[in-house]
């Protein structure tokens, strides 16, 4: 019997030693545990990053006059907000007094009391809504490009109980159409192309010379080579010589012109101070 107890005790001790020692938990497999934890953390914090300017669009921060851009791409970038619903937040423009009544139009400024109008909302029906000059107001509407260069919005509506606009990185390609944007922030983004020097490349469409009291104005239109629709109107810095005119006529595709974005021109992008680059 004693011998049997000794054998049993010996086997028990041997089994405990094989599992990490009697009364002690087995040591964790660090390599497996760490690998699992690392994978779990990676999965938890994984966030899809959506670029502000997707492939095929122009990022204005990367544009220089030394690298030509497609006239079609510039047109699409300049008019990228067209038809989009945006929500803007600012203060009402009050011409006189400390309040105003919104009828069929609301003009927003960045700071209460300022005189520079940044956006104009048009309502389909009169609102007859009286608001104080210092009241922060939020409104939505559909962007409609205008020859005036102002931000104009149609089909507008007041957004009640809106949260204060928070600064955020947006572009016309990722904006959700519901988040409130400070009117000054949107104004700067909407006009980001204004005053930028670019070199456009496209299909030479036509040259128009207008005689004004101040002198002759020469305009060269660059179009989409596939559709023939005009994309960019270039107001030349000087008249084009015969050699330049002949070169454009003989080789219309790939014409490059450098100039400064000046705004909308007959529903296309207008450049001024332009000169031929490769013709």
In residues, how long is the chain? 279
How does 112-125 read in b/e, with b if 16+ C-beta sit within 10 Å? beeeebbbbbebee
- pLDDT score recorded for residue 21: 39
Which pair of tokens denotes residue 163? 């949260």
Find the helix or strand (DSSP H, E) in which 264 lies.
Answer: strand 255-265
Range 223-232 average pLDDT: 95
Q: 180: which strand partners?
A: 87
Summarised one tens digit per residue, pLDDT across range 40-85 is 555 556 667 789 999 999 999 999 999 999 999 999 999 999 999 9
| Burial 51-88, CB ≥16 within 10 A → b, else e | eebeeeebebeebeeeebbbbbbbbbbbbbbeeebbbb
Q: What is the mean pLDDT of residues 166-182?
A: 93
Beta-carbon contacts of residue 137 (< 8 Å; ≥ 6 apart): 89, 90, 91, 92, 106, 108, 131, 158
Strands 137-143, 85-92: parallel, antiparallel or unpaired by DSSP? Answer: antiparallel
Question: In this predicted structure, what is the pLDDT of residue 10?
Answer: 42
pLDDT confidence band for 3 (50 / 70 / 90):
very low
Question: If 0-12 CB within 10 Å is exposed, 13-18 middle and 19+ buried, where does residue 201 land?
Answer: buried
Three-state DSSP class for 212? strand
Whether this prediction's pTM lies above 0.85 is answered by no
Rounded to whole angstroms, the Cα distance separating 66 from 190 reads 24
DSSP lists the bridge partners of residue 113 as: none
- For residue 248, pLDDT over 60 is answered with yes
| Alpha helices, DSSP H, located in 129-208 | 183-190
């Amino acid at each position: 019997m004693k011998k049997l107890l000794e054998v049993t005790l010996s086997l028990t001790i041997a089994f405990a030693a094989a599992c990490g020692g009697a009364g002690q938990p087995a040591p964790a497999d660090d390599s497996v545990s760490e690998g699992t934890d690392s994978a779990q953390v990676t999965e938890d914090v994984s966030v899809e990053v959506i670029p502000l300017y997707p492939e095929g669009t122009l990022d204005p921060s990367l544009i220089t006059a030394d690298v030509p851009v497609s006239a079609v791409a510039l047109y699409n970038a300049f008019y990228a907000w067209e038809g989009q619903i945006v929500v803007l937040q600012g203060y009402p423009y009050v011409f006189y007094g400390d309040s105003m009544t919104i009828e069929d139009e609301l003009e927003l400024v960045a700071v209460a009391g300022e005189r520079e109008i940044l956006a104009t909302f048009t309502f389909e029906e009169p609102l007859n809504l009286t608001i104080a000059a210092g009241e922060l107001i939020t409104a939505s509407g559909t962007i409609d490009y205008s020859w005036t260069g102002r931000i104009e919005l149609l089909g507008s509506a007041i957004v009640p109980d809106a949260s204060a606009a928070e600064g955020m990185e947006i572009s016309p390609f990722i904006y959700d159409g519901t988040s409130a944007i400070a009117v000054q922030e949107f104004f700067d983004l909407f006009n980001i192309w204004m005053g930028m020097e670019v070199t456009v490349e496209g299909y030479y469409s036509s040259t128009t010379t207008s005689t004004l009291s101040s002198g002759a104005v020469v305009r060269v239109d660059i179009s989409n080579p596939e559709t023939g629709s005009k994309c960019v109107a270039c107001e030349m810095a000087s008249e084009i010589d015969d050699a330049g005119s002949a070169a454009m006529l003989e080789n219309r595709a790939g014409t490059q012109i450098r100039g400064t974005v000046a705004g909308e021109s007959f529903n296309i992008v207008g450049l001024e101070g332009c000169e031929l680059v490769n013709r």
